[in-house]
Structure 1
Amino acid sequence: MGSWPVERRRYAWKEGIPVVSTSSPAAASGTFPLGGDLPVHRLGFGAMRITGPGVWGEPRDPDEAVRVLRRAVELGVTFIDTADSYGPAVSEPLIKQALHPYPDDLVIATKGGFTRQGPDRWVPNGRPEYLTQQAELSLRYLGVERIDLYQLHRIDPKVPVEESLGALTQLQSEGKIRHIGLSEVSVAEVRRARESAEIVSVQNRYNLADRSAEQVVDYCEAENLAFIPWYPIATGTLAAPDGPLAKMSADHGATPAQLALAWLLRRSPVILPIPGTSSVAHLEENIAAASVQLTDEEFTTLTPAGS
């Protein structure tokens, strides 16, 4: 996992057995060299929603969760994002159950830095010993010897970021982490973090309706850092019957969510959207967005509308 083989293998599943497949709709989204050495299809998959309500506990339909993960890979997804806190300890084991042994070109990113006390409850913990413990658990849950991208899920206000990143750079020196990323940070925080560690990605909330991370996107593009928007398909009032997405949806034969993903892919070449779902049908709809091409006029119309 995490290498770039001469012959890229795609898998489909028949009765639980992986077979080689050549179908790759996600490839239409283009590629980005994550960390400079891990080329991934830009439209990936976020594995938060394969857990229970409130990102807590087991999914209502574990079999469907496995089908979703396998179908994502069948459709050409080569970047899956998860976290130890999704469940907690539910999303990562499901990924292993569904996909291990992993395709050669599949990059799995995970995160650490949150504790969970119940559904929808998240408390930052950036203590070095905690991050080390959680990274070791993620290695076990995912069934890998090295995590391709390990992201600090949140900067803990009670712990200097240099101390948190120190634990991750130590794991990196031990060969247990390949690349390090951040989540929910400002430009100033990214700059400070880069003084302590080589940062290759930033994951912030960003979508067509919420542009609060606009400066972070611009910074990432200028520095060639991957920007991974979470909650990527929100459209807000833009999807109203009299909103700008209505006519575009009709013209393209696409849903507002697909147009929102197409806008993200057009917004910057460093953006790697990770729409998540617990439904195979919804997954297929999301991946189809890779083939939606906005015109210059459509992109120009949508860009200021969501600001």
Structure 2
Amino acid sequence: MKYRKLGAELEVSALGLGCMPMAGIGKGMYGEANTAECLATLDRAIELGITFFDTAEVYGPYRNEELLGQAIKGRRDRLVIATKFGFDLTNPVKIGVDSSPANVRRACEGSLQRLGIDTIDLFYQHRVDPNVPIEETVGAMANLVTEGKVRYLGLSEAGADTIKRANRTHPIAALQSEYSLWERSIEEEILPLCQDLNIGFVPYSPLGRGFLTGQITSRDDLADDDYRLRDPRYSEENFDQNLKMVDVVKEIASNHGCSAAQVALAWLLAQGDFIVPIPGSKRRATLEDSMAAVDVTLTDDDLDALEKVAPMGGTAGPRYGEAMMSMVRL
């Protein structure tokens, strides 16, 4: 494994592990998760030198953090544990945002207990709360740093102005937002801002929710209850158009003797050494495949070919439906 820094100080493996597909999400989100296999996958990740693990209070809710806590018990050293807060979980039927100082503290205390750790290495605001000034939220997060309960602060899917205001309140180590060959809008303003402010960037959904792996060649490959059937980019009118970029990814993969997923991840790693993708896995086989991307070096010709087939704004369809889109870049 290779290593990178988020912000000025936080060293992590060049690829982290997104734990979301594991316990607590439900079979409609990337299929059924087997707890024993999830634990074995986490064990294998640590063996491979992965130090960066990403979870969230809302995954489950709570069960995802509990699973990760079980896996890391007794081997906390060197591991960087990231979790996220920012939702009102009092009504499980209708979950809303809540980044009030009181909820920041409640979430932190709960996450520490479920993860079985004394300090959260990277504590993200999961989604910006338009009803709470970011200065109040980050101020409450900074208090947790002072108390030793959190080491570094992060944001997720925040807009440029919010990032600047947050960073003025307390240094932000990382921004987590969607970024991949099929979602590049972050390059326009957010990514350069992160680089200017020395904020690490953590792409989630780096494989386009599985699309860039090349394993899904038809909507028929998805189970009837798979949420991606409602994803605009997986829709009947957009699917075939978006498949064209996957054909090029697969061709480059064939030339390198690697998988399409490794090409997609290697492309992200090539965009800057402050970028640390977190592909999600719940099985050892997919974990091992993804993590081998750190050893794939794309040529200039490869990068040019990918630029032509997957330029910024070139993917057919919005990345989310209207409700989800209303929660990003605030």
TM-score (normalizing by structure 2): 0.78
Counterparts of 1:242 and 1:176 in 2: how far apart (Å)?
43
Q: 1:225-260: CA deviations, max 9, x gaps?
A: 110001001237565488322321210122222111
Query: 1:219 is paired with a residue of what secondary structure?
Result: helix
Counterparts of 2:95 and 2:119 in 1: how far apart (Å)?
26
Q: Which residue in 2 is equivalent to 1:14? A: none
Q: Is the 8 A contact 2:244 2:309 kept in 1?
A: no
Cα 1:245/1:142, change in 2 over 3 Å: same
Which of 292, 298, 304 lines up with 1:294 in the alignment? 298
Counterparts of 1:118 and 1:240 in 2: how far apart (Å)?
39
Amino acid of the structure 2 residue aligned with 1:196: T
Counterparts of 1:161 and 1:174 in 2: how far apart (Å)?
20
Aligned ranges for residues 85-234 of structure 1 at < 5 Å? 85-116=58-89, 122-214=95-187, 215-234=189-208
Counterparts of 1:268 and 1:55 in 2: how far apart (Å)?
33
Cα 1:39/1:138, change in 2 over 3 Å: same
Q: CA deviation at 1:54?
A: 6.6
Counterparts of 2:104 and 2:159 in 1: how far apart (Å)?
21
Q: 1:83-141: CA deviations, max 9, x gaps?
A: 1111111111111111212242111111100235559x752111110110010111111
2:41 matches 1:37: no
Q: CA deviation at 1:265?
A: 0.4
Q: Is the 8 A contact 2:245 2:309 kept in 1?
A: no
Query: 1:267 is paired with a residue of what secondary structure?
Result: coil
Q: Is the 8 A contact 1:207 1:229 kept in 2?
A: yes
Q: 1:132-166: CA deviations, max 9, x gaps?
A: 00101111111111111101111111111111112
Which of 39, 50, 71 lines up with 2:22 in the alignment? 50
Q: How many residues align?
A: 276
Q: 1:43-92: CA deviations, max 9, x gaps?
A: 11011110231789xx7421111111111111111111111111111111
Cα 1:92/1:36, change in 2 over 3 Å: same
Amino acid of the structure 2 residue aligned with 1:150: F
Q: Is the 8 A contact 1:184 1:204 kept in 2?
A: yes
Q: Runs of 5+ in structure 1 lacking a partner? A: 1-26
Q: Is the 8 A contact 1:131 1:164 kept in 2?
A: yes
Q: CA deviation at 1:304?
A: 4.5
Counterparts of 2:179 and 2:58 in 1: how far apart (Å)?
21
Amino acid of the structure 1 residue aligned with 2:3: T
The percent identity for this pair of structures is: 37
Deviates more, 1:167-176 or 1:239-248: 239-248
Amino acid of the structure 2 residue aligned with 1:272: V
Q: Which residue in 1 is equivalent to 2:281? A: 277
Amino acid of the structure 1 residue aligned with 2:22: I
Amino acid of the structure 1 residue aligned with 2:297: Q
Amino acid of the structure 2 residue aligned with 1:216: I
TM-score (normalizing by structure 1): 0.84
Counterparts of 1:260 and 1:55 in 2: how far apart (Å)?
24
Cα 1:266/1:60, change in 2 over 3 Å: closer
Q: 1:239-288: CA deviations, max 9, x gaps?
A: 54883223212101222221110000001111100001211111111111
Q: Which residue in 1 is equivalent to 2:230? A: none
Q: 1:184-242: CA deviations, max 9, x gaps?
A: 01222211111212111100111111112112122222332110001001237565488
Q: Is the 8 A contact 1:161 1:193 kept in 2?
A: yes
Amino acid of the structure 2 residue aligned with 1:87: G
Counterparts of 1:275 and 1:122 in 2: how far apart (Å)?
25
Q: Structure with the greater relative contact order (CA < 8 A, sep ≥ 6): 1 or 2? A: 2
Give 4+ residue runs of structure 1 displaced > 4 Å after superposition.
116-119, 236-239
Counterparts of 2:265 and 2:34 in 1: how far apart (Å)?
26
